[in-house]
Structure 1
Amino acid sequence: MNESAMISEIDLEIVNALQINPRAEWSRIADALGLSAPTVARRWNVLASQGQAWITPAPGQRYLSAGWSAFIHLSSLPSESEALIERLCAEPAFGTVSLVTGGHDLFMDCFASSHEELMDIVTGAFPKLPGVTHREVVFVTKLYRQASEWRSGTLEPARARLVTAEPLPEHPGYAPDRLDAALLEELAKDGRASWAELGAACRVSPQTARRRVERFLATGYITLRCDSSTSTQQGLREVTLVLNVPAEYVDGVGRFFAALPNCRLSAQVLGAQNLLVTLWVRDYLEVQAYERELAQRAPGSAVISRQAVVRTYKRLGHVLDQAGCSRSVVPLPLWREPS
Structure 2
Amino acid sequence: MQESAILSELDLAIINALQIRPRGEWSRIGAALGITGATAARHWERLTRERLAWIATMPGPRFGDAGHTAHVFLSASPSHHTELAERLCQEPAAATVTRVTGGHDFRVDCFTGTQESLDQIVSERFSSLPGVMRTETAYVTRVHRQSSSWRSGILDQRQSRSVSADSAATPSRRTAFDAVDSALLDALGDDGRRSWAELAALCAVSPQTARRRVEQHLASGYLVLRCEFATSAGLPVREASLILNVPGRHLEAAGRYMAGLPDCRVSVEVFSVHNLVATFWVHDLNEIHAYERELEARAPGTVVFSRSVTLRTYKRVGHILDREGRSVGRVPLPMWRRG
Per the shorter chain, which TM-score range? over 0.9
The yes-or-no answer on 1:262 pairing with 2:278 is no
Taking only aligned residues, the RMSD between alpha carbons, in angstroms, comes to 1.4
- 1:334 and 1:42 map into 2 onto residues whose CA distance is 33
CA deviation string 1:81-122 (max 9, x = no partner) = 111100101111001111111111111100101222212212
Contact 2:6 2:234 in 1 (8 A): no
Tell me which residue corresponds to 1:211.
212
CA deviation string 1:96-151 (max 9, x = no partner) = 11111111111110010122221221222124311101111110000000000000
- 2:81 and 2:338 map into 1 onto residues whose CA distance is 34
Contact 2:5 2:233 in 1 (8 A): no
- 2:45 and 2:219 map into 1 onto residues whose CA distance is 27
Tell me which residue corresponds to 2:136.
136
Contact 1:148 1:225 in 2 (8 A): yes
- 2:212 and 2:123 map into 1 onto residues whose CA distance is 38
- 1:337 and 1:86 map into 2 onto residues whose CA distance is 26
**Structure 1 outlier segments of 4+, above 6 Å:** none
TM-score (normalizing by structure 2): 0.96
Tell me which residue corresponds to 1:22.
22
Structure 1: gaps spanning 5 or more residues: none
* Residue pairs, 1:86-235, within 5 angstroms: 86-164=86-164, 166=166, 169=170, 171-172=172-173, 174-235=175-236
Q: Which amino acid aligns with 1:270?
A: F
- 1:146 and 1:285 map into 2 onto residues whose CA distance is 23
CA deviation string 1:22-71 (max 9, x = no partner) = 00011110111111111111110110111111101112121111211000
For 1:249, what is the secondary structure of its paired residue?
A: helix
CA deviation string 1:266-288 (max 9, x = no partner) = 00000000000001111111111
Range with greater deviation from structure 2 (169-178 or 295-304): 169-178
Tell me which residue corresponds to 2:308.
307
- 2:173 and 2:49 map into 1 onto residues whose CA distance is 36
- 1:71 and 1:226 map into 2 onto residues whose CA distance is 22
1:7 to 1:233, Cα distance in 2 relative to 1, 3 A:
closer
Q: Which amino acid aligns with 1:229?
A: A
- 2:286 and 2:336 map into 1 onto residues whose CA distance is 39
CA deviation string 1:230-285 (max 9, x = no partner) = 23542111000000000110000100010111100000000000000001111111
Structure 2: gaps spanning 5 or more residues: none
Contact 1:113 1:336 in 2 (8 A): no
1:306 to 1:90, Cα distance in 2 relative to 1, 3 A:
same
Tell me which residue corresponds to 2:55.
55
TM-score (normalizing by structure 1): 0.96
- 2:171 and 2:201 map into 1 onto residues whose CA distance is 27
User: 1:170 Cα deviation (Å)?
Assistant: 5.9
1:241 to 1:199, Cα distance in 2 relative to 1, 3 A:
same
For 2:248, what is the secondary structure of its paired residue?
A: coil
Contact 1:24 1:163 in 2 (8 A): yes
- 1:129 and 1:57 map into 2 onto residues whose CA distance is 27
- 2:90 and 2:267 map into 1 onto residues whose CA distance is 26
1:67 to 1:265, Cα distance in 2 relative to 1, 3 A:
same
Tell me which residue corresponds to 1:42.
42
- Percent identity between the aligned chains? 51
- 1:127 and 1:248 map into 2 onto residues whose CA distance is 34
Q: Which amino acid aligns with 2:272?
A: G
CA deviation string 1:288-329 (max 9, x = no partner) = 111111111001110000000111011111100111011111
Tell me which residue corresponds to 1:242.
243
Tell me which residue corresponds to 1:327.
328
Q: Which amino acid aligns with 2:79?
A: S
Contact 1:144 1:267 in 2 (8 A): yes
Contact 2:141 2:270 in 1 (8 A): yes
1:303 to 1:170, Cα distance in 2 relative to 1, 3 A:
farther
1:232 to 1:15, Cα distance in 2 relative to 1, 3 A:
farther
Contact 2:174 2:213 in 1 (8 A): no
1:168 to 1:118, Cα distance in 2 relative to 1, 3 A:
farther
Contact 1:175 1:337 in 2 (8 A): no
